[in-house]
Structure formats: C-alpha cells, structure tokens
Amino acid sequence: MSATHLLPVDWLQDLAVFPLPRAVFFPGTYLPLHIFEPRYRALMKDCIATGKLAIAVTLLKPGYEATYEGRPAIHDICTVGRVERHEQLPDGRFNLLLRGLSRVKLDELPAGELAYRRARAELLDGKRGNERVTRDAMTTLMSTASLVGAVVRRTHPDFSLGAQPDDPPHHVADPLPDRLFADAAARQDLLEPLYVPERIKKLASYVAGFLGTLEHETSRGPVQ
C-alpha cells in the first residue's frame, strides 16, 4: 500500500516534526520511540487529539547542541511515519511505534504558539529508477550483505538482514542499511538519494567496507 493511501494529503500541509540527534528513519522499517521531553509529550497529545497520527523524524545537523532547546538546523530529507501503536504512561511520557511510510522533503513552518516544530511535507518518490538496477548489482550487494550477516550471527544468532535477494531493489535499499549501520551520518547518506541505482551502488560500497572491517577485526582475534 502506498504512502498516499495511509497519509491524507491535508496531514502533509502541517506535519509534526521530531528532530533527533542520532536517529535516521527509513521507509519500510519500524522505529520505537520513548517520548519524555515536555514539547514532544505535547506533540503526541495533539496527534492523538486530532487523529493526525503521523510524525516526520529527522536528523539534527552537527552543532545542534548549542541550540537544542530551540530550533537547531535539521536535514530536510527525512522519513514520515505513521503511529502504529502508542501508550501514555502514568507520568505523562509516551511509548510509541512508528511505521516508516515515505521519504519527504520538509519546508518548515514558522514557529507559532506550539512548543514543537512543524513543517509542510512533500512526498518523494523513493522508487525512481527501480527498473534500471541490474541483476548483477543486486547479486553483488546481497552476496556481500549475506557474508556480513554470517559474521554478525556468530554473536547474535537471531540477526537477519530484513531483505531477500528477490525483493525489489527499493525494498532492499532501505531495510538493509537500517539493520546494518548505526552511524547517523552514514544512514542519512543512504537515505537521501532518490534514484534507486545510485542508492544501491552507494549501499554496496558501505556494505563492502563494513565486511572488510568485520573481517579485519575477526582476523585479529580476541584481545589477550
């Protein structure tokens, strides 16, 4: 089901924005969040009250620390997610689960009386060029990723890549970095390209580099 079926157009005209310092959210993935800051508690209360259960999760740009309580710079390319589950705790905090729907480009709205940030959001086509990804490119990527998975499963037996070799390229290019990479800058770099062949090529480079790092660490053996 497409994002347009799950996100009414009017929601995108005034979308709640949740900037985070180290989190990059991908379409087709799930993001659990614990909401404790007063401004984001207010955000959740408003989402529930209005029924607009959608939030844009975006990465804060470097240097945000000095103005964190205000409106530090954010990346305008991010993912909008729909609130699949939410729970308000007795002290006012929230636990929620977001389902990533689509890349969006944010056009931030002026600060108003609300404590949290809002933006007008443009849905972006994250499947452009899907048909131009070659079978060889996908085979190389998935083969390398499978080797990474095999190494990771030595210490985390339940680990999975979240993607299959026969999946459409865009269905591989988002879950795979979500499972493999924790570094926010790398994740943002893999989120932003809209042209799928470019995303697959970049992802393959990251995965190969990660495999090389894992193999180097394995060859060194345990520290004595």
Whether 188 contacts 24, CB under 8 Å: yes
Domain spans of the chain?
3-123, 130-220
- Give the 3-state secondary structure of residue 209: helix
Average pLDDT, integer, range 135-156: 95
pLDDT band with cut points at 50, 70 and 90 for residue 146: very high
Model-wide pTM > 0.85: yes
pLDDT in tens, 72-89: 999 999 999 999 999 999
Whether 97 contacts 121, CB under 8 Å: no
Say how far apart CA 169 and CA 207 lie, in whole Å: 15
Say how far apart CA 219 and CA 36 lie, in whole Å: 43
Percent of the chain beyond pLDDT 70?
Answer: 95
Whether 29 contacts 96, CB under 8 Å: no
Average pLDDT, integer, range 139-165: 94
User: Which residue(s) pair with 86 in the sheet?
Assistant: 96
Domain 3-123: CATH superfamily is LON domain-like (2.30.130.40)
- Give the 3-state secondary structure of residue 213: helix
pLDDT in tens, 29-38: 999 999 999 9
* In the block, residue with structure tokens 């995108």: 12
Task: Give the chain's length.
Answer: 224
Q: Is the pLDDT reported for residue 99 higher than 70?
A: yes
pLDDT of residue 90: 96
Q: Is 113 left (phi over 0), alpha (psi -120 to 50) or beta?
A: alpha
> Which amino acid makes up residue 124?
L
Say how far apart CA 198 and CA 164 lie, in whole Å: 19
Say how far apart CA 130 and CA 127 lie, in whole Å: 5
pLDDT of residue 182: 95
